[in-house]
Structure 1
Amino acid sequence: MAALLAFLAGLPATHVLAEEAGEHLTGDWGGARSRLAGRGITFDIGYDSELARNLSGGSRDMTRYADQWQFGTTLDLEQLWGWEGASFQAVMTHRSGDNLSVDAGLGTNQQVQEIHGRGQTWHLTTFALEQAFLEGRLEWRIGRLTVGDDFASFSCDFQNLTFCGSQPGNIVGDYWVNWPTSQWGTRLKLHATPQTYLQLGAYQVNPRYIDDAYARRNGWKLDFPGGTTGALIPLEFGWTPQRHGLPGSYKLGAWYDTSGGDDLLLDGDRRPLAITGGEPLQRGARHGAYLNFEQQLGGVPGGTGARAFLNITQADRATAATDRQISLGVQYRGPFGREADMLGFAVGATHANPRAARHQRLYNRLHPDDASPVLHGNEYAAELIYAWRPISALTIRPNLQYVVRPGATSEHRDAFVVGLKSSMVF
């Protein structure tokens, strides 16, 4: 915390230097960055951090810090080699730090520091070739991909995971894998009109990719590990209209996972697991659907003004312990006459599957000495943020979070969390 305060205190003294650097804190590297970009080589180097302290909730009050480094490059293969319509992207990330939700015993289903998770180590996040056909109307992407970058994609301005990134990965993250973990996959995207598209993907489902021990040893490798259980196949229709000149984004999607999964309630003979203690019934597939709406409501098109969003995801109730998530909010760009700043507020609900609750109630009744809390209903979250952007390459987002019924149970106290999310572009 002391180092962060010292950094903020030093901002006025570095303001001129940072403005001269433009979009990057390290500037133009003596002109080398611009020269490389002119040849088709660009770099993306960034650092994100999230500080959080609980003022209520959990078993004790404490402060935790987590961060992520990102090192990426994009190659325009048409400029470099004359390969028309082709580009290549590679991204490595490194995460470290601690998780307040766990360490303070908050019991939340969704992390109050979204950046923590998927192993505190190096990850090969992207290693992909993209090729355009039909004058750019058809795009093909193949390689090591993060499905959440391609399908149900959403911004990550907020710090609570309820409001960050591709929503399906928040509730079925054992097979829909979001940033920074990648898997082998491919995606075809057809722009039917300038305002509509249809895309279809196929992504490897392999439990090793989300195993922390495996990630620490192999997360950075371009490997193809054994243990693949199936394929995740998402389909998405998108519409990007202009409402009175104001941009919007509307997505409707569904997915099908061929690997299947364990039934939450029944055994192989379709009798309650809590009674028989047998092996779970194996479901042949897992599936779900989502809606993602974003619309600017006023102001300058694509610039200052209010934007509203709504995300809804429903997973199948046979296999998903957390089967639904809904989040909605509004972001206002340009508050207080500061065009680069943003004020935002969001609320959300993460729903516990009633079939899982039914199993736990029955198990508790039959095994009172081994009883566990019954997760039922919703975990509710709300977050208020202010994104201060003193210079182009730095964004500082203080935030307040309040979580009601953490973990979708009354066993945990409501949590009030103060956070600080920062992003730097080098």
Structure 2
Amino acid sequence: MRRTFPTSLVTATLLCLVSTTAFAQQSVAFPESVLTEETTTTGQYYLDAFEKVSFYESCGMSCGDIAPSCGGYCTSAACDCFYCRDKCGGDFGGHRSCLKDCGITVEGAFTQFYQGPSSGGNKEVFRYGDKLDVFVIMDTGKMGLWEGGQIDIHAVDWQMGQNAIVDATGLAPVNTAMLLPKVGEPTFATTSLQYTQMLGGGHLVTAGRINMLDLWATFYPEYGRGIDGFMNTSMMLPLNVIPSLPLVTNGAGIIKAGERGIERALLVFESQSSPTTVGMDFPNGVTIVGTVRKYTDFMCQPGSHTLIGVYATGEYTSYDTSGWIVVPGNGVTPASKQGTWAAAYLAQQQLWADPCNPARKVSMFGYIGFSDPDNSPFQFTTSISIEKFGPFASRPNDRCGIGYFYNGLNSDFQNTVSLIAPIDDLHGGEVYYNAEIVKWFHLTTDLQVIQPGLVANDTAVVLGLRGELEF
């Protein structure tokens, strides 16, 4: 079958590559005072050390922040060049920094995906989709209101195009970012509007509309909601929290934070997911989440161990078919069970760090989770992965990873689904490489090999390409 590559993603990538190369070939004008008579064989000037540092500081850069695409020099013009910016939009004519000084930070990303099973899975088809995210963070102290308050808004959560989640295997989503706002259809929503107030001593209270993927990124910011690292949800978080923990809902809680991050939390949510609707009516009880995190130093390298417990008070479908009612002419009425639970242990450990650049490191992450056998499709889930940030000294802003996951299904769930088609446990692996083209555009190649749940399906080999543009 012939595969068609998305024109817009190719165009964006080629534009970045060609334009960056062209800019690197441009001559850069320097004041005579910073040039010495000595030159290299390639004609590159040496700069006086003192004035060199002065130029860097005037640009808001350190000496290690030279961008090769800017000719290897730091000047006022080079620091403001289109391809050297941290964000595609730069400072938006001074408006971004002005807003930040006033306590309002605006960040966004436009991410494109081209992904699908090259063989196996439910359907061998490649699909193209987009995700637009805009975040607004408000500091009430800097805004002149009151101290210690912060408002986090996932103002734009816009899913466009298609995704390959169902084409591969739905019980191990191959694209985490495209789970929200809704799977399988273009949707727009504001999925987070959360207020947090510091109480002192590291304690804070939070309340509002909460996006669980954003909340997860608060605990483990390096994972980036499936935008920067692994794409498969099973590589990032335990799926056994289904159905007890909704992805977007209203809630409140108290959190204890320390110098290295969140240490304890107790949160209460509505038990229903409402990504595109608002309101608090608690139609199916509440979900209570408690977590404790212990930070450690093993062999002089930082790590952490986290316990998470979830209990939901509502009614959920029971997969034990012995309680189902068969009504002649009206089909089957499934039984329900009051309350459900889930629990998980997560560990993260840094294995190595470059003494000259601590951002270059190797980190290991793993988890194991269990859930209520009556209500959850999963009996247990587990995963282990290793990622390297800055895999090469010459590529400090790249990252790559490899990992394996296993999603064990409940026997009752298997028996229920097997009435239609035989189903078994899922397991698979993922490997990716995220390359920095310019500071504000990253291109990721991704490979996933998954043994799908449906016994009749062949092993799914899922290829993916992800382009993230930060603005």
Range of TM-score over shorter length? 0.7 to 0.9
Indicate the RMSD between aligned Cα atoms, in angstroms: 2.6
Q: Say whether the 8 Å CA contact 1:148–1:177 is kept in structure 2.
A: no
The answer to whether 1:11 aligns with 2:13 is no
Residues 80 and 350 (structure 1 numbering): CA distance in 2 closer, same or farther, change over 3 Å? same
What is the match of residue 243 of structure 1? 298
> 1:171-190, aligned counterparts within 5 Å?
171-178=240-247, 182-190=248-256
Q: Say whether the 8 Å CA contact 2:154–2:190 is kept in structure 1.
A: yes
Residues 401 and 351 (structure 1 numbering): CA distance in 2 closer, same or farther, change over 3 Å? same
Residue 324 of structure 1, CA deviation: 2.2
What is the match of residue 212 of structure 2? 147
TM-score by length of 1: 0.84
The answer to whether 1:313 aligns with 2:369 is yes
The answer to whether 1:322 aligns with 2:378 is yes
Distance 1:188 1:32 in 2: 34
283, 307, 316: which one aligns with 1:228: 283
What is the CA deviation profile of residues 54-73 of structure 1, one whole-angstrom value per residue up to 9, with x for unaligned ones? 22114653210122111121
Residue 322 of structure 1, CA deviation: 2.5
Residue 196 of structure 1, CA deviation: 7.1
Q: Say whether the 8 Å CA contact 1:106–1:412 is kept in structure 2.
A: no
Question: Which residue type is aligned with residue 7 of structure 2?
Answer: A
The answer to whether 1:396 aligns with 2:452 is no
Residues 313 and 90 (structure 1 numbering): CA distance in 2 closer, same or farther, change over 3 Å? same
Q: Say whether the 8 Å CA contact 2:116–2:168 is kept in structure 1.
A: no
What is the match of residue 390 of structure 2? 334
> 1:208-287, aligned counterparts within 5 Å?
209=274, 215=276, 218=277, 223-224=278-279, 226=281, 228-266=283-321, 271=323, 279-287=333-341
SS at match of 2:142: helix
Distance 2:168 2:260 in 1: 46
What is the CA deviation profile of residues 370-401 of structure 1, one whole-angstrom value per residue up to 9, with x for unaligned ones? xx11323x211211101101322222110111
Question: Which residue type is aligned with residue 28 of structure 1?
Answer: D
SS at match of 1:304: strand
How many residue pairs get matched? 390
What is the CA deviation profile of residues 196-230 of structure 1, one whole-angstrom value per residue up to 9, with x for unaligned ones? 721100011225x26xxxx3xx4xxxx31656211
Residues 199 and 402 (structure 1 numbering): CA distance in 2 closer, same or farther, change over 3 Å? same
Alignment gaps of 5+ in structure 1 = 365-371
Residues 54 and 343 (structure 1 numbering): CA distance in 2 closer, same or farther, change over 3 Å? same
What is the CA deviation profile of residues 263-292 of structure 1, one whole-angstrom value per residue up to 9, with x for unaligned ones? 21145xxx5768998644432211010112
What is the match of residue 98 of structure 1? 162
Which moves more between the two structures, 342-351 or 7-16? Answer: 7-16
Question: Which residue type is aligned with residue 101 of structure 2?
Answer: G
Q: Say whether the 8 Å CA contact 1:233–1:255 is kept in structure 2.
A: yes
Distance 2:317 2:116 in 1: 36
The answer to whether 1:345 aligns with 2:402 is yes
Residues 70 and 193 (structure 1 numbering): CA distance in 2 closer, same or farther, change over 3 Å? closer
What is the match of residue 42 of structure 2? none
SS at match of 2:8: helix
Distance 1:151 1:30 in 2: 33
Alignment gaps of 5+ in structure 2 = 1-5, 21-68, 71-80
Q: Say whether the 8 Å CA contact 2:196–2:204 is kept in structure 1.
A: yes
> 1:343-422, aligned counterparts within 5 Å?
343-359=400-416, 364=419, 372-376=420-424, 378-404=425-451, 406=452, 408-422=453-467
Residue 240 of structure 1, CA deviation: 2.3
Q: Say whether the 8 Å CA contact 2:321–2:412 is kept in structure 1.
A: no
Which moves more between the two structures, 272-281 or 254-263? Answer: 272-281
Distance 2:363 2:105 in 1: 30
Distance 2:262 2:15 in 1: 46
Distance 1:97 1:132 in 2: 40
The answer to whether 1:72 aligns with 2:141 is no
Higher relative contact order (CA 8 A, sep 6+): 1
Q: Say whether the 8 Å CA contact 2:230–2:432 is kept in structure 1.
A: yes
Distance 1:196 1:69 in 2: 28
Distance 2:362 2:464 in 1: 23
